[in-house]
């Protein structure tokens, strides 16, 4: 009788091991056992990897990307088209983003939280030593980091003051102790966006609701804020990017339209000019070349990202190579 009992016990263990265990934080009521074979068969579809462009090298054809070869996304460097990636960070936590200094490629700043708590901190990575240095206080929530054109400062948001409001701060990332609050806010939704070429002005956006936002100029010496767009119900102004001459900036707006369009704001006159009036689709994003000569922008045409490149002097699109692949473009 004893051998029979031992055989049945062994079979029971085998049956239970073939089912997925129920996580300790869940209570399953009425669920049938899920065979482990289902998880094994679906694993190839769950474990695919993606690569995200984090930052271009300031002087060479190389980039920082985010991808994972273990459990979390880390920073990797790629130095040639189709080249192998070299992993630079090895944290248990996911890296949310990384940006090279716009002048020196010796450092980059990256963003990371701990255990998914979303209290993001900024770190400086030294490419010569491979060491990372914490730049923020380790307790507040920080984000929205933007390098100044000369690579001497970064602007970012932080809740350091009271743990709630997203103030705008400045810092020399080589000297974390230089961090200072530039603009104190009494509400959320603020985001630094673009530095003027002389680093005397910072453009920042203030999101009021899902359909309403404004753009401000902030004096980087005094912190004085000046609205450069009018507050209009259900109108968005966002993603401002200074031109290299500092005379104005490009932006996206829904002013007088049901669609988000590309526009130019002249700072001297305050005049707003719509650059894509004929497009009845949302312009989702854009990027200005370093010399300001070209502007690449993405139009969401019937749920498909379509790339356009504009000559900023003529405000006309230039022809692109034939056979550009369709899909979601960033």
pLDDT, one tens digit for every residue, the chain (330 residues)? 455 444 444 444 444 458 888 888 888 888 888 888 888 888 777 777 889 999 999 999 999 999 998 889 999 999 998 899 999 999 999 999 999 999 988 999 999 998 889 999 999 999 999 999 999 999 999 999 999 999 999 999 999 999 999 999 999 999 999 999 999 998 779 999 999 999 999 999 999 998 999 999 999 999 999 999 988 899 999 999 999 999 999 999 999 999 999 999 999 999 999 999 999 999 999 999 999 999 999 999 988 899 999 999 999 999 998 887 777 888
43 part of a folded domain: no
221 part of a folded domain: yes
What pLDDT does residue 17 have? 57
Q: Do 214 and 329 fall into the same domain?
A: yes
Q: Do 198 and 321 fall into the same domain?
A: yes
Among residues 144, 59, 158, 129, the alpha carbon closest in space to that of 101 is found at 59
Element (H, E) at 10: helix 2-17
- List Cα–Cα distances, 297 to 29, 216, 251, 300, 330, in angstroms: 50, 23, 11, 10, 9
Q: Is 72 exposed, middle or buried (0-12, 13-18, 19+ CB in 10 A)?
A: middle
Cβ proximity of 97 and 66 under 8 Å:
yes
Q: Do 268 and 151 fall into the same domain?
A: no
What pLDDT does residue 38 have? 87
Cβ proximity of 329 and 298 under 8 Å:
yes
Torsion angle in degrees (nearest 10) through CA of 24, 116, 85, 64 = 170
The domain that holds 60 is classified in CATH as 2.120.10.30
Sheet of 121-126, strand order: 95-100, 107-112, 121-126, 131-134
Q: Do 127 and 234 fall into the same domain?
A: no
Tell me the C-alpha distance between 106 and 104, whole Å.
5
Q: Do 204 and 326 fall into the same domain?
A: yes
Q: Do 194 and 304 fall into the same domain?
A: yes
Q: Do 204 and 311 fall into the same domain?
A: yes
Among residues 81, 82, 79, 50, the alpha carbon closest in space to that of 66 is found at 50
Tell me the C-alpha distance between 248 and 224, whole Å.
19
Residue 137 phi, psi dihedral angles, 5° rounding: -80, -5
Question: 173, 203, 223 — which closes off a domain?
Answer: 173
Number of domains in the chain: 2
Would you state the structure tokens that stand for residue 166, as one six-digit string? 């997203």
Cβ proximity of 67 and 77 under 8 Å:
no
178 part of a folded domain: no
Question: 142, 173, 204 — which closes off a domain?
Answer: 173
10 part of a folded domain: no
Element (H, E) at 307: strand 305-311
Cβ proximity of 124 and 132 under 8 Å:
yes
Among residues 30, 68, 34, 38, the alpha carbon closest in space to that of 52 is found at 68
Q: Is 316 exposed, middle or buried (0-12, 13-18, 19+ CB in 10 A)?
A: exposed
Q: Do 193 and 322 fall into the same domain?
A: yes
Element (H, E) at 156: strand 154-158
Question: 119, 140, 173 — which closes off a domain?
Answer: 173
Tell me the C-alpha distance between 284 and 304, whole Å.
11
Show the domain range for 57.
Answer: 48-158+167-173
Q: Would you say how long the chain is, in residues?
A: 330
CA angle, 231 then 237 then 240, to 5°: 130
Q: Do 145 and 196 fall into the same domain?
A: no
Q: Do 81 and 210 fall into the same domain?
A: no
Among residues 176, 178, 125, 181, the alpha carbon closest in space to that of 158 is found at 181
CA angle, 260 then 262 then 263, to 5°: 120
What pLDDT does residue 11 have? 42
Q: Do 83 and 133 fall into the same domain?
A: yes
What contacts 54, CB < 8 A, 6 or more positions away?
63, 64, 65, 66, 75, 97, 98, 99
Q: Do 246 and 292 fall into the same domain?
A: yes
Would you state the structure tokens that stand for residue 52, as one six-digit string? 């995200």
Q: How far is CA 252 from the centre of its chain?
A: 17
183 part of a folded domain: no
């Amino acid at each position: 009788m004893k051998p029979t009992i031992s055989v049945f016990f062994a079979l029971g263990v085998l049956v239970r091991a073939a089912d997925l265990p129920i996580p300790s934080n869940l209570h399953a009521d009425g669920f049938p056992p899920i065979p482990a074979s289902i998880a094994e068969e679906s694993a190839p579809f769950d474990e695919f990897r993606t690569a995200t462009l984090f930052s271009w090298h300031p002087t060479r054809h190389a980039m920082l990307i985010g991808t994972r070869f273990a459990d979390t996304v880390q920073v990797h460097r790629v130095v040639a088209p189709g080249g192998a990636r070299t992993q630079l960070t090895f944290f248990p936590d996911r890296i949310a983003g990384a940006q090279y200094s716009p002048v020196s490629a010796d450092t980059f700043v990256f963003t990371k939280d701990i255990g998914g708590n979303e209290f993001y901190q900024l770190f400086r990575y030294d490419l010569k030593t491979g060491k990372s240095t914490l730049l923020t206080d380790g307790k507040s929530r920080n984000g929205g980091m933007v390098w100044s054109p000369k690579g001497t400062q970064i602007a970012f948001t932080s809740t350091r003051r009271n743990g709630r409001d997203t103030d705008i701060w400045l810092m020399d990332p080589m000297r974390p102790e230089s961090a200072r609050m530039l603009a104190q806010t009494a509400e959320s939704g603020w985001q630094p966006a673009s530095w003027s070429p002389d680093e005397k002005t910072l453009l920042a956006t203030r999101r009021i609701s899902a359909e309403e936002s404004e753009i401000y100029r902030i004096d980087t010496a005094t912190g004085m804020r000046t609205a450069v767009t009018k507050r209009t119900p259900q109108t968005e102004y966002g993603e401002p990017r200074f031109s290299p001459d500092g005379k104005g900036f490009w932006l996206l707006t829904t002013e007088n339209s049901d669609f988000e369009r590309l526009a130019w704001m002249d700072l001297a006159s305050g005049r707003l000019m719509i650059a894509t009036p004929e497009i009845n689709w949302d312009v989702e994003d854009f990027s200005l070349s370093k010399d300001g000569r070209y502007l690449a922008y993405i139009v969401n045409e019937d749920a498909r990202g379509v790339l356009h490149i504009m000559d900023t002097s003529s405000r006309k699109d230039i022809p692109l190579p034939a056979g550009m692949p369709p899909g979601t473009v960033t």
